[in-house]
Amino acid sequence: MKKLIAAMAAIAMLAAISTTAFAESIPITTGTEGATGSAIASVTTTTIQEDTYSATIDWGTMAFAYDFGTWNVSTHQWDNEKWVTDNFNGSNDKVTVTNNSSQPIDATFDYLASGRGINNGDATTGVFTTASGAGNPTLGTVTDTMGLALCQVDALTGPSDDTFLNLVGRPAASIGKTAAIIGTITVSLTAPITTGAATELAKVTDTAVTTVPPLTTNDKTNIEAAMLVLANAAVDSSAYTVTISTDVASTYSIDTKAWTGEFTVTNNANASNTKTDATARAITVVIATA
């Protein structure tokens, strides 16, 4: 098993730390004895951080065999030629990328036929798929790019994902029984242009989803539907979708309007770029007055 450590330069985020509290003067009038009132002040903050990008790439032997079958003396062609499927066993053909970064990364996979002056693999195409196999690029889903979430603070290893090299087309028959290079794999690591699911999830604050519209029916189904509308309005809804996680069942009390649950943000174009609340939230829902 070969291992390559790819580390990208640290990126300094030049935002200065500041914490500001905004509070308006809100008069509270007691109409009857014992009446009370309340006011809400929003607290905002920015952060400073020095992000580091680092990933581990593991791959199998990437050693395969091609069976040309039998030479047909009548048609002057090989019959029953194929890649030896035993070599595509989910290990030899696997590439695993583990993100050890403080931010999400994208990994892009490219296969390039490389005969180094000899056309060993010019007729062979490499396709990366979610399922292991040979000669059939429709196995699973094509995964030329994968998105990996940021590494959690308490994680022993970062988020990882697998892709499998699928070879289509014959190599040169002149290779014979001595192994020869027919192509190369390049794995490119980049910081995604998008802010990432984790950053979007941070926008879904408790305050953003606490007050639902007037006339919202006071039951779990309608309250959660209203909260999701507010949550999706808080994120970049053109690229991300917020749902309520099913990993831990959410709860809602009609009497106290107390809701507990976890939100999940998922990249619409890359389902692996997703982030769920680390712990369940406890929110007392407010149904706004008309």
Question: Is residue 235 domain-shared with residue 170, that is, in the same domain?
Answer: no
170, 190, 210 — which closes off a domain? 190
Same domain for 199 and 185?
A: no
Query: Quick check: is 231 in a domain?
Result: yes
Name the pTM for this structure: 0.53
Per the domain annotation, does 67 fall within a domain?
yes
pLDDT for the residue 29: 55
Q: Which of 167, 90, 172 is nearest to 134 (CA)?
A: 167
Domain around 228: 195-290
pLDDT given for residue 16 in this prediction: 34
pLDDT of residue 65: 92
CA distances from 73 to 33, 79, 171 (A): 107, 10, 21
Tell me, yes or no, whether 200 and 132 share the same domain: no
Q: Is residue 267 part of a domain?
A: yes
- Could you tell me if residue 232 is inside a domain? yes
Radius of gyration of the chain (CA): 27
CB 133 within 8 A of CB 139: yes
Q: What is the pLDDT of residue 41?
A: 76
- 144 with 255, same domain: the answer is no
Cα separation of 10 and 51, whole Å? Answer: 6
Q: What pLDDT sits at residue 102? A: 79
Reduced 3-state DSSP string for 203-258: HCCHHHHHEECCCCCCCHHHHHHHHHHHHHHHCCCCCEEEEECCCCCCEECCCCCE
Specify the pLDDT at position 2: 44
In a domain, 262, yes or no: yes
Task: Determine, yes or no, domain membership for 154.
Answer: yes
Q: Are residues 177 and 265 in the same domain?
A: no
Number of domains in the chain: 2
Domain-located, residue 21: no
User: Domain for residue 290, yes or no?
Assistant: yes
pLDDT along the chain (290 residues), means of 10: 40 34 49 63 75 87 92 93 90 91 84 69 84 75 73 70 89 85 88 73 92 94 96 92 93 96 91 87 92
Residue 109: DSSP 8-state: E
Q: Burial, 147: exposed, middle or buried (Cβ in 10 Å; 0-12, 13-18, 19+)?
A: buried
- Side chain identity, residue 274: T
Q: What is the pLDDT of residue 36?
A: 62
